[in-house]
Each structure stands twice: as structure tokens, then as C-alpha cells.
Structure 1
Amino acid sequence: MNAKYKYKTLFVTLFKWIFLGGVIGVVIGSTTALLLTTNEFLGNTRKDNAWLIYFLPIGGLVIGYMYMQFGKESGNDAAKGNNLVIEGVHGIARVLRRMGPIVYLGTFITVIFGGSTGREGAAIQMGGSVAEAVNQFLKVNVLDTKIILMSGISAGFGAAFGTPITGAVFGMEMVALGKLKYEAFVPCLTASFVGHYMTEYAWDVKHETFVVQTIPELSVITFGKVIFLAILFSLLSVLYCQLRHGLQRISENYFNKNHMKRAFVGGIIIVVLTLILGTQEYNGRSLDMLEQSFTEEVPPYAFIAKLVFTAVTMGMGFVGGEAIPLFFMGATLGNALYQFMDLPLSFLAALGMIATFCAGANVPIAAFLLSLEMFGDKGIEYFFVACLTSYIVSGHHGLWPSQSIHEPKSRLFTIPDGETIESVEKRGKGST
């Protein structure tokens, strides 16, 4: 009788997680399809109407107003973005259901007027909002609430990039350095796959493709080059994170967390930078140059330009995502190193794309799986080494200060367990 009860409990629990993951996947897959389709339309509209860039400061005022008027509830602030979702998983904050719609509108405004942004942040935050709505509707317990939130993250990432395996692991790996929450595996996997298939097959929304044309043969010399490059890509990611967070801290202090003023000034800075460079290649998502970096040489300063544009955009109060900008920075830096490293151009771009994202997001397993889903199984040894190297070398820095540190990345780092990236950076212990 006891064994029979255990099996019954197992199948009931399994069915519950598959059902909940499926529901979240259907909703997030559909909303992500809307996000991708609308972003594509708005991005093309901006490229055809260059004058729209001059309205970016006004767009910043609108975004700031939305967050100040509708983004706060019971001490929880939707302006924290992905950090609020992470804190929701850790049980120290509550994700707001309205956060998803607000970040979607904010992302659309950012894209149409030329802020430098991506999309995964909007998808993840919508995933967190939908998951929170499920939690409140079903009145689930605290532990299950955390797992459902992770499945929302997985659905958002898997649907946003067409990488369901990566999405499944990303939801479990994103919230804490050095720990995978395997208890969330079934709902995360279900939500990510359902979300992906809803986006790509039910709604017929296609994702970008990047082709690695040539992979160098395995050799000790090439592995040495890959490790050296991974160090450079990780330092690039750290530079971006530090500049982005620094701009956010300075602007919040100077404007007393008035998001309207912050974003208005940030919009003016982006307009001025755009006029100085005389091009809008670094506004919006910059997907054309990202794809170009795999096939031909791009301006050698492209990675720095995108870094500055994105740090100002995201650090001054605009919204969207930072994965695609990191992809761009890494790929274009790899492209710029083509003349010096004697490695295939597309391989350098792909390596930079994955290693820079890995260092910023602190998700080595998900980043490695991302390389497999995006580029296939060729050169997996190189991508695996690059992910581990960039993850360790980047120290305890990252895109999301609320990420907790289950344990240090290496014994070289003297950091107590249970810290967050934010607390470590404040004490200046993020690097050796």
C-alpha cells in the first residue's frame, strides 16, 4: 500500500509539472511570438525612418512614467527587471503580474526610437509575470512558486532564441552561481519546449541563423588561442557590466531614482552619440551587423560602440534585453581579431558570441548548449573550453546583481557562500 501511494504521488506530481509547464509554455510562446514579430516590424520601421531617433528622449519619459506610476507595489519594483524575477525565485520579493505588459511596451518604445537593446529580458520578465499569475490563481506553496517562476524563465529564453534545450537549463542555472536546481527540471523542460514550438511552429516566427563555415582542426596551439580569446571575451563582458551598473547607480543617485529624468537624459546621450558616429548601425538590435560579422569584416571599433550604446540605454532606464547586445559585442570583437589570430572568421565570431554571453550571464552549461543549438556539434571541444574559461575569468560580476553565489567559482576567490553579485561588487571582491 505504501509503495502504491508513492507511485501515485509520483505520477500526480509529474502530471502537475507537465501540465503547468505546458500552460506557461503556450502563453509565453504566444506572447514571445508577438514580441519578436513586433520588434521586427518596429526595427524595420526605424531603419526606414531615421528621424525617429530624435524622439528617443520622449520615449524615455514615457517608459519612466510607466514604471513610476504602475511598476511599484508593496515594495516590489518592476524597474528591477530580471533581478526582480531572480529575487522572486529566491523568495525575497514578489514578481508583479503587470511587469510583463510594462516591459513589452517599454521594449517596443526602446526599439522604435533607437535604443540599443535585445529581447530576452522582455521574454523572461513576461515569463515571470505569467508564472506569478499561475501561482496566485492556484495558490501554490512557496517551493512550488519558485519552480514555476523558473519554468517561466525557461519558456521565455527558449522561445526568444529558438533554443529549447538551452532554455530548459537556463531557467535552472540563471538564478544562482554554482548550483543547478534540478527539482525544476520537468516544468522547465516542458515550458521551454512548448514555448519554442508555439513560437516557431504554431505562430510561424523564425529566428536568426548563424553559420560557422569552418572549424579549425584540434591542436594544442588552437586550444591555447581559444583560451586566450575566451579571457578577452570575458573581460569585455566585465567591462560592459561594470559600465552599465555604474551608469545605473550614478543616474539613480543623481536623479533620486526618477526614472523619467534618467531615461530622458539617456535618450539625449544616445541621440548625440548617434550623430557623432553618423550611423544608426548601433541603435536598436543591430542584427544586420551581427550576421555580417560571421561572413565579412566589420568596423574594428564596432564592439566598443555597441558596448557604450547598450550601457547607456540599459543603464539609464530603457528596457529590453542584453543577450543580443552581448552576442554583438563578442562576435564583432572576434571579427576584429581575425587579422591577428589566424583562425576562421565565422569561428571567431561564434566563439566571441558564446563566451561573452557566458561571462555576462554566468551560465556556462546553458551557454555551451546554446553553442550546440546555434552552430551544431562541430568544434564542441573549443566552445566547451571557452565557456568554462570565460565563466571563471569573469569573476563574480554579471548582468544581474541579484544572482546569488551558491559557492565561489574557484578556490582562488575568497567569497562566502550565499552572497550576491551586488554585495560582492560593492565590497570590491569580484576579482582576484
Structure 2
Amino acid sequence: MMKNKFSFEHFHILKFSVRWTLLILPIAIAIGSTVALFLWLLNWAIHFRFSHTWLLYLLPIAGVAIHFIYRSVGRSSEKGNNLIMDEIHQPGGGVPPQMTPVILITTVITHLFGGSAGREGTAVQIGGSIAGMFSKWFKLNELDTKIVLTAGIAAGFGAVFGTPLTGAVFAMEVLTIGKIKYNALLPVLIASVIGDLTVSAWGIHHTLYHIDILPKSDYVLSSYLPLDILLLAKIIFASALFGLASYLFATAVHKIKAFFSKVIKTQWLIPVIGGLIIIGLTLVIGKPDYLSLGVDGEYPGAITIPSAFHLGGADTWSWLWKTIYTTLTLGTGFKGGEVTPLFYIGATLGNALSILLDAPVSLFAALGFIAVFAGATNTPLACTIMGVELFGSEYTLFFAVACFTAYLFSGSSGIYSAQRIAVPKIFIGNKV
């Protein structure tokens, strides 16, 4: 009897695996190919602006164009990542197919004219939109549609950053704080891996980062556990600040959006004002380092994410300037993601704190890179894995300490309003 039960159960496991592999393969390839096109266009737009710096002065006009694109054809796509998350939580009108071209075009426009934004949001929306379209073609039921949309998030995220395992865990972890639904485990892993492989097959390469080898320390716990306790204490302190930086970013984005929506009744004027403020800030600061993505430098010696991994590669307040630029960009209606700016904020803050705490620069830049992201998205597990995928496994413990601490200190804030709370971070008496 046990043998029959075993055979029956594993037959259905095999059937489940084959079915979802066949379902996810074309979806992930389509998402990976579209993300590859997006990354190519984004790279072109950024470097075109580098050689045509006057384009920054057209940023207000670009903002108006983005506003009317969404008004005319975007429809519910304006909700972005939150729409996809809402559809997974509580299916409604579905994810519109036009979300893919609309977010792709408007994100490229944002970067072409110097807006400070990222690319994760675009990739996730591409993934969710394409997944939703395939779901309708395959006539999937509600439960399967939820899984496909989650897999779409994984494919988009894994493909855009070259971190397939992170993409899979992120897609499951980001939906609900304190709860992961494992029924999507196999589909999201397949989707994220195939999406990443597809981007690589198209010849798109990701930025590589490196942590220098740490010198040996006398402050170890014991000869059996060679853990530098002084360095660990510094990491915990810095990670609490990373969490507060996450809180500042998430709160600022929501507050700026709410403020302008309340004060300015003519909606197309909001991106005009946002664009003018960014132009003014750039003229006052005297350098364009906080515009656009922040991965490549517009000139030799510019402050970028890679430069933050080296001594002198960031200013003391670079993280704050990037916070201001990006929250203004996204809060006034320009499009793109939040994650790459969060990488920039974390890496430059880590650089500044490494000097203050007399700590390894590249390590603290890497910790800030993943920890500020963990706090802002409430995804400490995914971000710990990202640390391993991007920087290697040698400092996994430090990655986990940084991400978990930042997650805690970011409070109940988050950049995704559709993210739900299943288990609160802390309980105070009988209250959250």
C-alpha cells in the first residue's frame, strides 16, 4: 500500500514538474529576450546622453511626454510593480499587455534625458506583463495565473541583474512580509535561470564587482571560530544605518508623490517641476554624478557604484544626494526602478562608513549595496543570496547580518505599497 502511495505521489510530482517546465520555458525566453533588448536600449540611451549633455535640459519635456503616454495608452500600467503584486494577491482586471512596451519606452526616455532611476521595476513589469499575456493564451486558472505572474517577476529580476537564484527567492519573498509561498518554487527557479541564460545568449553582460581579501585580525572569537568580533560589531552598527537609509528612501518616495499630487492639480506639471528641480540641483552641485543609473561614469573620476568599492570613490554625502535625486525622479512621475539607485545609495554610504569606522572599503560598499536594498524591499533572504551571487560566498555570514539588521531597522516602510504583512517584524505587547 505504501508502495502504491509512493508511486502515485511521485507520478504527480513528475507530471507537475514536466508541465511547469514546458509552461515556463517559452515565457522565460520571451521575458529574457525583452529584458535583453531593454538593457541594450538603456545602455545606448545613457551613453548617448553622456555625449550630448544638453539633453538634461529637456528633462521636463520628457516628463510631460511620459505623462501623456500613460494617459493615452498606459491605463492601469501606471501602478507598475504594485499592479502585478495586487494581481497575485487578489486577481482583478489582469496585467495589461501594453505594460511591456510602455514601461520599456518610458524608462529609456527617463534615462535618455538624465532622470535618476533604476531598471529593476521595468524588468519586473516586463516579466509580469508577458507572463500575464501567456497566461491568457494558455487559458490558465486563477491559481496557475498567480504562479505564472510570480515566475514572471523572477524571470525579469534574475535576467536584469544576472542573479537567477536571487530572482527566484525575491519573487516569492517580496509579495508578503514574513511569509513565502513554496508552491511556486520550481516555476520561479526555472523562470529566473532561463531568463538569465537568455540575456546572456543575446550577448548582454552584467557589471562585475569585487571585494578585496580582508587582512587577518587579532580580534577573533577563538581559534575554533575565526570570526572578527570587532569587525562584526562595526557591520551591525553600519547595517542599522543602512536600514535607516532604506526607511528614508521609501518614505521620501511616497511623501513626494503624495505632496505633489495634493498641491498641484494639473498633473502634467508635476514632472515639469520635478525635472526643473533636478536640473537646478545638478547646476548647483556642479557635476552630473547623481543622474541616471549610476553604474557607468559620465567622465573619468565620476562617482559610480563600481567606484564606491575603492577608497576615495565616493563623497561623504553621495548617498544622500542620490536619495534626493531618485526620490524626486520617481515621485514626480518619471519611470524606472528603485533598486539600482538603492545599490548606489548603499554602496556609497558603505564607502563613507568604512572611513568613519576604519573598516574595509570594498566589504562595506558590498554590504551597503545589498543591505539598503534588503531594507527598502523587505527581502533579507533574497538580498543575502544576492551578496553570494555577486560577491562570492566567503563573507556570507556578514551578508546575512547586514541584510537581516537593515531589514529590521527599516521598520514597516517599503517601496512597494502592494506588499502585504503576514508576520510583523516585531511585536510590542499585543500590538505590532
Question: What CA distance in whole angstroms lies between the structure 1 residues aligned with 2:310 and 2:110?
Answer: 28
Question: What CA distance in whole angstroms lies between the structure 2 residues aligned with 1:146 and 1:109?
Answer: 31
Letter in 2 for 1:247: I
Scaled by the length of structure 2, the TM-score of the pair is 0.92
Q: CA RMSD in A?
A: 1.6
Report the Cα offset of residue 219 of structure 1: 1.8
Q: Percent identity?
A: 38
2:173 is aligned with 1:173: yes
Aligned match of 2:221: none
Larger Rg: 2
Scaled by the length of structure 1, the TM-score of the pair is 0.92
Question: What CA distance in whole angstroms lies between the structure 2 residues aligned with 1:249 and 1:39?
Answer: 28
Aligned match of 2:219: none
Question: What CA distance in whole angstroms lies between the structure 2 residues aligned with 1:178 and 1:221?
Answer: 31
Question: What CA distance in whole angstroms lies between the structure 1 residues aligned with 2:431 and 2:188?
Answer: 30
In the TM superposition, what are the counterparts of 1:361-400 in structure 2 within 5 Å?
361-400=377-416
2:269 is aligned with 1:261: yes
Over 3 Å counting, the alpha-carbon distance change for 1:69 and 1:138 in structure 2 is same
In the TM superposition, what are the counterparts of 1:63-102 in structure 2 within 5 Å?
63-72=66-75, 77-93=76-92, 94-102=94-102
Report the Cα offset of residue 413 of structure 1: 8.2
Paired positions, count: 410
SS of match in other structure, 2:68: helix
SS of match in other structure, 1:293: helix
Over 3 Å counting, the alpha-carbon distance change for 1:413 and 1:206 in structure 2 is farther
2:69 is aligned with 1:54: no
Question: What CA distance in whole angstroms lies between the structure 2 residues aligned with 1:222 and 1:5?
Answer: 53
Say whether the 8 Å CA contact 2:347–2:367 is kept in structure 1.
Answer: yes
Letter in 2 for 1:296: L
SS of match in other structure, 2:277: helix
2:245 is aligned with 1:236: yes
Over 3 Å counting, the alpha-carbon distance change for 1:303 and 1:2 in structure 2 is closer
Letter in 1 for 2:82: N
Letter in 1 for 2:84: V
| Further displaced range: 2-11 or 109-118 | 2-11
Question: What CA distance in whole angstroms lies between the structure 2 residues aligned with 1:52 and 1:413?
Answer: 55
Question: What CA distance in whole angstroms lies between the structure 1 residues aligned with 2:318 and 2:256?
Answer: 21
Over 3 Å counting, the alpha-carbon distance change for 1:133 and 1:216 in structure 2 is farther
SS of match in other structure, 1:226: helix
| Further displaced range: 403-412 or 307-316 | 403-412
Say whether the 8 Å CA contact 2:91–2:142 is kept in structure 1.
Answer: no
Question: What CA distance in whole angstroms lies between the structure 2 residues aligned with 1:414 and 1:254?
Answer: 38
Say whether the 8 Å CA contact 1:91–1:146 is kept in structure 2.
Answer: no
Aligned match of 1:293: 308
Q: Can you list the C-alpha shifts for 1:350-392, whole angstroms capped at 9, x where unaligned?
A: 1111110100011011000000000001111111111111111
Over 3 Å counting, the alpha-carbon distance change for 1:149 and 1:42 in structure 2 is same
Report the Cα offset of residue 166 of structure 1: 0.5
Aligned match of 1:419: none
Say whether the 8 Å CA contact 1:215–1:379 is kept in structure 2.
Answer: no
Find the partner of 1:280 among 271, 279, 288.
288
Is there any run of 5+ residues in structure 1 with no aligned partner, and where?
Answer: 417-432
Say whether the 8 Å CA contact 1:65–1:259 is kept in structure 2.
Answer: no
Question: What CA distance in whole angstroms lies between the structure 2 residues aligned with 1:319 and 1:232?
Answer: 27
2:172 is aligned with 1:198: no
SS of match in other structure, 2:44: helix
SS of match in other structure, 2:107: helix
Aligned match of 1:32: 35
Is there any run of 5+ residues in structure 2 with no aligned partner, and where?
Answer: 217-226, 297-303
Question: What CA distance in whole angstroms lies between the structure 2 residues aligned with 1:179 and 1:61?
Answer: 40
Question: What CA distance in whole angstroms lies between the structure 2 residues aligned with 1:119 and 1:359?
Answer: 18
